[in-house]
């Protein structure tokens, strides 16, 4: 009977890694997780499938088109497209059982049917922290969540990142004072600043709000210098607007607390062009670029919102959050050569190879090594020594333990270091 073989393949736009890279991916996730847990964030987990009416309570336009939705029985279902909406639902649902401020993290897959292109994935891991308050939430948290992103990056050995921080209230105040009613259009335009360049931006802004106001906004966006200098220049504008003043105060405080929390001056900068699209953000907003590789866009973004769960509850729940798209980040880190040089700390320590019927002693040695915190496995197959050593080479274990009858008799354990790769350079040492 000839069998019908189906070609093994996955859908386009889905990331799947070979074991070597997968171990690195998982190591990155576990280091980030460790940072979040060391800092008192509580993990939650929500279903990947939810009621469509719940997930799509707010969205519309582009996002909704990208959502994977379908029917099962009489239910309209959808796959979550981020972790924020399910979290809003979660907080509203268990409001009475949660302790606020609620510091939570969540790592999980989300789904977006994006156009297929390199480095964009339809299934990707997000790794979010959000702090939610009951009615109010200290601005210190805005700095705190960014400081955790800083710690997370450092924990994986990444150094060339820079947080670009702003506060939406500043621009909101300015636009208000200028009596500009096309707020959204201007915001969207500023959000595109880096993509379209100063020249196109200025032209489009001018046609949107006229020469005079456009010039003023350009002047604001051109402010640069140290964070202190930028704050100073903003204050010199002497705009008497509540939002504007609050925005500057908050931004100043965030910078201050960041320093206090150990985030170095070189790690962050004020960038008034940061908007974060038309998301739900209302105060602090930030993105994270890789310096020298800005073209890849933000690798970690977030901000402050006034009311997280307004679609699900009348309780006011302000919060601040950050999100790292780990699948995308991994892609970028591969592109810039970071993954090639990534140092795995959790590799297999020992491969034990029995020669002859020595399995009992092999198991004893394995137990001993594992009790001492080592990662160990035994090669069980009956193969030639050559094949066994070939396996050891391929799995990139550094130490191999060969156990023949002589070793059993003498209760010896000889460790062969594989780093040289050549058998004549064997270096035996006694355990």
Closer residue to its own copies (CB): 256 or 296: 256
Is the N-terminal amide bond of 101 cis, ω within 30° of 0?
Answer: yes
- Encoded tokens for 124: 């990707």
- Encoded tokens for 139: 């601005």
CB of 178 to its own copies, least distance (A): 26
Closer residue to its own copies (CB): 293 or 370: 370
Compute the distance between CA of residue 324 and CA of residue 33 in angstroms, rounded to an integer.
12
Check: CB of residue 129 under 8 Å from CB of residue 104.
yes
Please enumerate in sequence order all residues whose Cβ is within 8 A of that of 96, keeping only pairs 6 or more positions apart, or say none: none
CB of 156 to its own copies, least distance (A): 17
CB of 182 to its own copies, least distance (A): 22
CB of 203 to its own copies, least distance (A): 37
Compute the distance between CA of residue 145 and CA of residue 110 in angstroms, rounded to an integer.
21
- What is the β-pairing status of strands 350-354 and 376-378? parallel
Closer residue to its own copies (CB): 28 or 289: 28
Complete DSSP assignment for 80-138: -S-SHHHHHHHHHHTGGGS-SSEEEEEEEEEE--PPP-TT--SEEEEEEEEEE-SS---
Closer residue to its own copies (CB): 98 or 426: 98
User: Would you call 381 exposed, middle or buried from its count of C-beta atoms within 10 A (0-12, 13-18, 19+)?
Assistant: exposed
CB of 68 to its own copies, least distance (A): 6
Closer residue to its own copies (CB): 208 or 348: 348
- In this structure, how many other beta carbons lie within 10 angstroms of the beta carbon of residue 96? 6
Check: CB of residue 400 under 8 Å from CB of residue 385.
no
- At residue 251, what are phi and psi to the nearest 5 degrees? -60, -40
Closer residue to its own copies (CB): 144 or 244: 144
CB of 59 to its own copies, least distance (A): 12
CB of 153 to its own copies, least distance (A): 16
Closer residue to its own copies (CB): 89 or 169: 89
DSSP 8-state class, residue 239: -
Check: CB of residue 285 under 8 Å from CB of residue 270.
no
The 3-state DSSP class for residue 46 equals: coil
CB of 64 to its own copies, least distance (A): 14
């Amino acid at each position: 009977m000839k069998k019908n073989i189906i070609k093994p393949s996955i859908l386009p736009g889905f990331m799947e890694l070979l074991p070597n890279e997968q171990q690195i991916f998982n190591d990155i996730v576990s280091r980030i997780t460790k940072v979040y847990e060391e800092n008192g964030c509580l993990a939650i987990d929500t279903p990947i499938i939810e009621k469509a009416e719940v997930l799509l309570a707010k969205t519309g336009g582009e996002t909704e088109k990208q959502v994977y939705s379908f029917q099962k029985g009489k239910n309209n279902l959808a796959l979550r497209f981020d972790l924020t909406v399910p979290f809003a639902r979660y907080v509203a649902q268990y409001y009475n059982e949660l302790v606020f401020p609620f510091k939570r993290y969540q790592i999980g897959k989300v789904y977006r049917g994006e156009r297929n292109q390199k480095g964009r994935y339809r299934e990707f891991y997000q790794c979010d922290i959000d702090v939610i308050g009951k009615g109010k939430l200290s601005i210190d948290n805005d700095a705190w969540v960014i400081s955790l992103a800083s710690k997370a990056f450092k924990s994986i050995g990444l150094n060339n990142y820079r947080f670009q921080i702003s506060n939406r209230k500043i621009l909101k105040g300015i636009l208000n004072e200028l009596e500009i009613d096309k707020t959204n259009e201007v915001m969207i335009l500023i959000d595109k600043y880096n993509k379209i360049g100063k020249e196109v931006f200025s032209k489009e802004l001018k046609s949107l709000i006229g020469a005079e106001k456009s010039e003023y906004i350009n002047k604001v966006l051109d402010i640069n210098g140290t964070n202190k200098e930028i704050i100073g220049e903003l204050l010199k504008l002497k705009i008497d607007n509540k939002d504007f003043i609050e925005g500057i105060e908050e931004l100043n405080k965030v910078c201050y607390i960041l320093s206090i929390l150990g985030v170095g001056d070189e790690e962050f900068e004020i960038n008034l062009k940061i908007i974060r699209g038309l998301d739900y953000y209302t105060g602090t907003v930030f993105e994270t670029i890789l310096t020298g590789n800005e073209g890849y866009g933000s690798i970690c973004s977030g901000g402050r919102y006034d009311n997280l769960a307004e679609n699900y509850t009348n309780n006011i729940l302000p919060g601040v959050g950050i999100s790292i798209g780990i699948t995308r980040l991994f892609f970028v880190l591969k592109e810039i050569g970071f993954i090639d040089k990534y140092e795995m700390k959790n590799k297999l320590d020992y491969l034990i190879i029995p020669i002859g019927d020595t399995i009992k002693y092999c198991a004893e040695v394995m137990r001993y090594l594992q009790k001492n915190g080592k990662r160990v496995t035994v090669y069980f197959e009956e193969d030639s020594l050559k094949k066994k050593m070939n396996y050891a080479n391929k799995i990139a274990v550094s130490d191999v333990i060969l156990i023949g009858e002589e070793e059993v008799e003498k209760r010896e354990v000889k460790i062969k270091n594989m780093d040289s790769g050549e058998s004549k350079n064997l270096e035996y040492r006694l355990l």
